[in-house]
Structure 1
Amino acid sequence: KVEQIIFKHTQKVLGGDLNVVFYDMTQLYFEASDEDDLRKTGFSKDGKHQKPQIFLGLLVAKQGYVIGYDVYDGNTYEGHTLIPFLENISRKFNLEKPIIIADSGLLSKKNIGALEERGYEYILGARIKNETAEVKNQIIESFYADGDLIDITKDDTKRIIVSYSHKRARKDAYNRIRGLKRLEKKIKSGKLTKESINNRGYNKFLKLEGKIDVQVDYTKIEQDQYWDGLKGYITNTKLSGSEIIQNYGELWHIERAFRMYKTDLRIRPIYHRLRRRIEAHICISFAAYSIYKELERALNTQESLLSVKKAAELTHNMYQTTYQLPDGKSMNKQLLGMDDQQKELYGIVRNCFRVSH
């Protein structure tokens, strides 16, 4: 029921425009150490490998307004959730087939095939370094100025869009240099051994010689520089390259939503054990985020200088007293004194509530 109310509100706020949606997943770990049918240990991006976890899938519309969510057990592979999630959301809300936007974590032949088979259009983050030699040569041999993009036809249904940004190139170069310095420091200290190496992050720049000789492969570093500033997208839509990049650029709203869940809305720590309580906990956070977005919209509509965070802080000492006069038969309510910012916030929320109803 909560999901239905929020979905209808999102429809109303966006004027029914749900043609483009954004999907992502995050992990939520538990403080308890025991597993069950929902809470499972698995690979943890937070480094909490010993703690049971669950996955939270979230679908949002433009500007970060929530459509729906789902909960998965902790050892689920996130790439296997996209199609079941979309089918479940479609059943819940009778949602027409929108354009699906997601990052490269959902990029797999199986997912792409399933999306196309079910008639979905999509824009996904592309792993351009994993493309064929022909496509890679076409990308790195192109001349790039800031903001340039190229549009490559991959096959009958798919295109690869690649954009170049000076700002992204500087960031890529900076991160690589910083990662290289850490590698060199570890090798020099003798703390980096063959047994401790994986292929994640900047370990890709290492090579092993003999049984224990670990060295930096500077040839790989030189080759990696060719990709500085490049960002790829794969799509089966008819949208222009600039429209694809613009739409994909709104994916940050869902990343912001997850940050909000984990910080301001305090979805963690989670101590619950029973599935129904875990799901209730997630539902409360889901509703809280929707209220947060509505407050944000109200402040923007009124062109207030108050941030949502500041507005939340102001409510911490806004009080109302309830009293009954000696000869009275009913209870009376009286707001206590507020400063100017609290009065402004109260007026905005009151006006927003009145308009909404």
Structure 2
Amino acid sequence: MFIRRKPNKSGSFSVQILDKRDGRNRLIRSLGSSKIEEELREMERQASDFIARYGGQGVLDFERAARVSPQEEADMLFNRIVDVRHDAPRLILGRIYDCVGFGALGDEALRSLAIARVCEPKSKVATVEYLKRCFREDYRLHQIYRYMDTLYNTRREQIQQISVKHTRRLLGGRIGIVFYDVTTLYFETAREDALRSPGFSKDGKTAESQIVLGLLVSRDGYPLSYNIFNGGQYEGRTMIPIIDDFVQRFSLTDFIVVADAGLLSRKNIALLKQAGYRFILGGRIKKESKSVQDWVLSLGKDPHKLNETVINGDERIIVSYSDQRAAKDRHNRDKGIQRLRKAYSSGKISKRNVNQRGYNKFLVIENDVMVSIDEDKIIADARWDGLKSYVTNTDLPANEVIDQYHGLWVVERAFRITKGSLEARPIFHFTERRIEAHICICFVAYKLYKELERLLRLLGITLSVDKVLDIAKTISTVSIRLEDGTVHTRTLLNTAEERMLAPLLPG
């Protein structure tokens, strides 16, 4: 018997015990492999001990002694494991990242940050730890911050180009309908600057500064374009700049803009018409002219009938009625009136009842002021219960106009996913470049989220994206070093739920 140090293709060496019999060398035992001289010498020492112990025995006895027990065999297997990680979410989302087209950017930092935002949305400090622990990606916090300082200016245009190209492919080459809405993202601070400032918060955060995010999506909620504005910007002034920019950059033609009533203003409508855009906007009946209001109130409240008329020359106003909407309007009004009756049950308003925000705190009320509820106004308001209007310059049938408008839920859901699952807010960055980079990363993350959602539908996997990612986090990827020094990696699918995700994983 003798010891052999066998070279491997990987550059390592395997230490083996061989026995020469009938002119041929027969492998008795392998002690392992390594590139480190100290480890190789230790394995050779163990081999020498083995030969000293069993080398003088007969061949049959030696073969019996050389056989390893099941426990020893298991130990040998486990000793060859060089890494165990739970990176199935990265494998799934990385595959989607490339299929969408983002892989063409060659930007590994963007890939890692966007995938981490979907898997484990946390602060950048926690993200660095997560990437290291689960994905074995070694980033330093200062590297992330330096990267964010350049991301927005270098990648934003390319990212949106890729997203639009992919969305067009999904929709058969034509965008057709674009939905626009805005939301607000707040900071855990009241500090103000050119971008961050107080404003009307959709999250009810009146004390914190914020930014306004405008988002343009297609049918089914696929993201197309976005922009951010000063937190105090009136949302009605955000729509036209984004749409104009989008149309010019992507040569968009033959499309319809859909937006809610909050963006309805005569100025916006004039600008939309001036640019030749077709639109469907949520109407505000009580803001229309008296003649239009009288016409609306003259209509019967039939939930099965749609009424329309032409206004301003080339616009149509379509009015629908819903019993369910009427019940909701009535319920909300009754709740508000009950609060009023309780607050002013004495029939007087005192200083403590006055809104204390702004400069009202300087008001002096020396004598109580008499106050009463106008019952006639309540009756007048009830006449509008259940009525909803839509303004359009398209020639679509009335029912199709309403169906397209109801598609706005996709952009509302986009905001819920971005704020909820992706935790885009609160924002902890304070420089404009890093704030913009944070939103850019969230945009890519939302695109990955939506594409995974689409693939789940195609595969017939009736689980939510969040549930799929929770299951993926339990999947182990094991790397084992073989005797020749090569490392083999396998993703283990142990449960029925894990095996369900096999089509999402790389082959």
TM-score (norm 2): 0.64
Q: Is the 8 A contact 2:493 2:499 kept in 1?
A: no
| Cα shift readout 1:262-301 (whole Å, capped 9, x = no counterpart) | 1111111210011221111111111111111111111111
Q: Counterparts in 2 of 1:188-227, with a 5 A limit?
A: 188=345, 195-196=354-355, 212-227=369-384
Q: Counterparts in 2 of 1:8-157, with a 5 A limit?
A: 8-96=165-253, 98-157=255-314
| Cα shift readout 1:87-146 (whole Å, capped 9, x = no counterpart) | 221233232252111011111111110110010011111110111222112111211222
Which range moves more in the overlay, 89-98 or 240-249?
89-98
Runs of 5+ in structure 1 lacking a partner?
199-209
Aligned equivalent of 1:340: 496
How far apart are 1:167 and its partner, in Å?
A: 1.3
Which one has the largest radius of gyration? 2
CA change 1:213–1:316 in 2 (3 A) is farther
| Cα shift readout 1:152-198 (whole Å, capped 9, x = no counterpart) | 11132111000111111111111111222122222238689663299
Which range moves more in the overlay, 236-245 or 33-42?
33-42
CA change 1:82–1:211 in 2 (3 A) is farther
Q: Is the 8 A contact 2:350 2:368 kept in 1?
A: no
Distance 1:105 1:247 in 2: 17
Distance 1:236 1:313 in 2: 46
CA change 1:105–1:211 in 2 (3 A) is farther
**Is the counterpart of residue 265 in structure 1 residue 426 in structure 2?**
no
Distance 1:260 1:217 in 2: 42
| Cα shift readout 1:21-43 (whole Å, capped 9, x = no counterpart) | 10011111111332222112223
How far apart are 1:336 and its partner, in Å?
A: 2.6
Which range moves more in the overlay, 300-309 or 51-60?
300-309
Distance 1:342 1:322 in 2: 19
Q: Is the 8 A contact 2:183 2:202 kept in 1?
A: no
CA change 1:219–1:321 in 2 (3 A) is same
| Cα shift readout 1:208-251 (whole Å, capped 9, x = no counterpart) | xx972232222111111111111100111111111100100100
Q: Is the 8 A contact 1:59 1:69 kept in 2?
A: yes
Runs of 5+ in structure 2 lacking a partner?
1-157, 358-366
Distance 2:173 2:370 in 1: 61
Distance 1:148 1:302 in 2: 40
CA change 1:242–1:336 in 2 (3 A) is same
Distance 1:302 1:320 in 2: 23
TM-score (norm 1): 0.89
Q: Is the 8 A contact 1:194 1:212 kept in 2?
A: no
| Cα shift readout 1:70-96 (whole Å, capped 9, x = no counterpart) | 111112111111111112212332322
Aligned equivalent of 2:364: none
How far apart are 1:321 and its partner, in Å?
A: 2.0
Distance 2:252 2:351 in 1: 51
- Residue 473 of structure 2 aligns to a residue in which SS? helix
Which range moves more in the overlay, 240-249 or 305-314?
305-314
Aligned equivalent of 2:485: 328
- The residue type equivalent to 2:496 in the other structure is D
- The residue type equivalent to 1:346 in the other structure is A
- Residue 460 of structure 2 aligns to a residue in which SS? coil
CA change 1:224–1:338 in 2 (3 A) is farther
- Residue 216 of structure 1 aligns to a residue in which SS? coil
Aligned equivalent of 1:206: none
Distance 2:351 2:465 in 1: 45
Aligned equivalent of 1:229: 386
CA change 1:297–1:191 in 2 (3 A) is farther
Distance 2:202 2:372 in 1: 27
Distance 2:255 2:375 in 1: 45
- The residue type equivalent to 1:317 in the other structure is T
Q: Is the 8 A contact 2:236 2:268 kept in 1?
A: yes
CA change 1:191–1:5 in 2 (3 A) is farther
Instruction: Give aligned-pair identity as a percent.
Output: 43
Aligned equivalent of 1:201: none
Aligned equivalent of 1:204: none
Distance 1:305 1:132 in 2: 49
Q: Is the 8 A contact 2:179 2:411 kept in 1?
A: yes
